[in-house]
Homo-oligomer: A and B are copies of this chain.
Amino acid sequence: MTEFGFIEQIRRLFASLPDQGFEGIGDDCAVLPLAGDEALVFTSDLLTEGVHFLRHATTARELGGKSLAVNLSDIAAMGVSPVATLLSIALPQDATQQWALEFMEGYRQVAERYATPLIGGDTTRSEAGITINVTAIGRGPVSHLKRRRDARPGDRIFVTGELGGSGAGLREILAGHLDTPLAALHRNPVPQVDEGRWLGARHEVHAMMDLSDGLASDLRHILDLSHTGAEIDLESIPVAAGADLQTAACGGEDYKLLLTAEASAAERLAAEFRIRFGTPLYPIGRITAQEGLVWLRAGQPEALDWRGFSHY
C-alpha cells in the first residue's frame, strides 16, 4: 500500500465525522477559520531514523533545525505565518544526552529565526531508532490562505527557487560524501516563511504548496484537486548547480514553493517578488483546462515517466 493509498483510505473512514469547523486532510495544512478574517492552520510531520535521516550523516543540530524547517515550510505554503510548534521525540539508549541537547539547540535556532515558540510536546524512550514528530501551527487572514485546489486554467506556474540541490545532495550523502555543499544543503533546508507570507497577501496567487516530494509528484496534487492539467517547459525549470534536470523535477526536499498565478498579473508579481526578495520567481509553465501533466521540450510534448520522490 502506498502512503497516498493509505491516506485515501483514512480519509474515507473519517469522512462522516462532524468537522467541528475544520477543513481537514488534503492540503499542506488543516484550516480552522476563527472570528473575522482570521484562521489557524495545522500540520504534522514525522521523521524516522533510517528513512528520513541517517544518524551518522547528520549532526544533531542540523537534524533539529531540519525537523522544524520542514514543518514551517508547510505553513508557508498556506500563505500565512507560523506561530507555534509542538515537538515529540523518542530517543533510544544510544542517543546521548549531548546529542539530545544539540538537537534542541538546532531546533531552537530555527525557532528563533522565525519567532516561533515551542509550546508543548512529548519526550520518551525508544527501543530502536530516533523518531521525531513536529506539529506546527500557523495564523493569518482567511483571505490569504492558498489551497491546492485553486489553480485555474491559464494560470502561470512558478517556483520560488532552484530545484534539485537537495536531491543531488542526498545522492552524495548516500555515496558517502557528507561534506559537500549540496550534502549540507540537503541537511539544512531553509523554509520560505517570508516568501510564503508575502505570496499569501497577493490575490493573483491562486494555488500554492511546498515542494517536498519533487515537482513531478507535488504538482500532480494541485492538478488533481483543481481538476486541471499543466504544461511544464523543461528548459524553464531552474536547475540548482550540481544537479541535473531529472533530479530538479523528481528529487525531493527542496522546500521551495510551487504556485500558480493569474496570467495577466504574473509579470508584475514576479517583478515585485524580485524587488522584495532579491531572487527570481521562476516561471515554469501553465495550467491547462485539459487534465494531465505534459512536459514540453522546445514547445513539443516529450513522453517522460517522471515521478516524484517517495519515502514509502
Q: Are B108 and A30 in contact (CB under 8 A)?
A: no
Minimum distance in angstroms from A19 CB to a CB of chain B: 5
Q: Are A30 and B119 in contact (CB under 8 A)?
A: yes
**How many residues of chain A have a CB within 8 Å of chain B?**
72
Answer whether A101 and B9 are a contact pair too, CB < 8 Å, given A18-B117, A117-B20: yes
Q: Are A312 and B90 in contact (CB under 8 A)?
A: no
> Is A67's beta carbon under 8 Å from chain B?
no
Where chain A touches its partner, the secondary structure class is mixed
Binds B, one of A40-48, A255-263, A300-308: A40-48
> Is A133's beta carbon under 8 Å from chain B?
yes
A23, B118: Cα distance in complex, Å: 10
> Is A37's beta carbon under 8 Å from chain B?
no
Complex interface: chain B residues within 8 A of A50 (CB): 126-128
Complex interface: chain B residues within 8 A of A32 (CB): 84, 137
Q: Are B122 and A45 in contact (CB under 8 A)?
A: yes
Minimum distance in angstroms from A217 CB to a CB of chain B: 15
A42, B84: Cα distance in complex, Å: 11
Answer whether A118 and B17 are a contact pair too, CB < 8 Å, given A9-B101, A34-B34, A125-B311: yes
Q: Are A83 and B133 in contact (CB under 8 A)?
A: no
A84, B31: Cα distance in complex, Å: 11
Q: Are B88 and A118 in contact (CB under 8 A)?
A: no
Answer whether A127 and B20 are a contact pair too, CB < 8 Å, given A13-B104, A88-B44, A118-B10: no
Which A residues from 97 to 137 make CB contacts under 8 A with B?
Answer: 97, 100-101, 104-105, 108, 111-112, 115-129, 131, 133, 135, 137
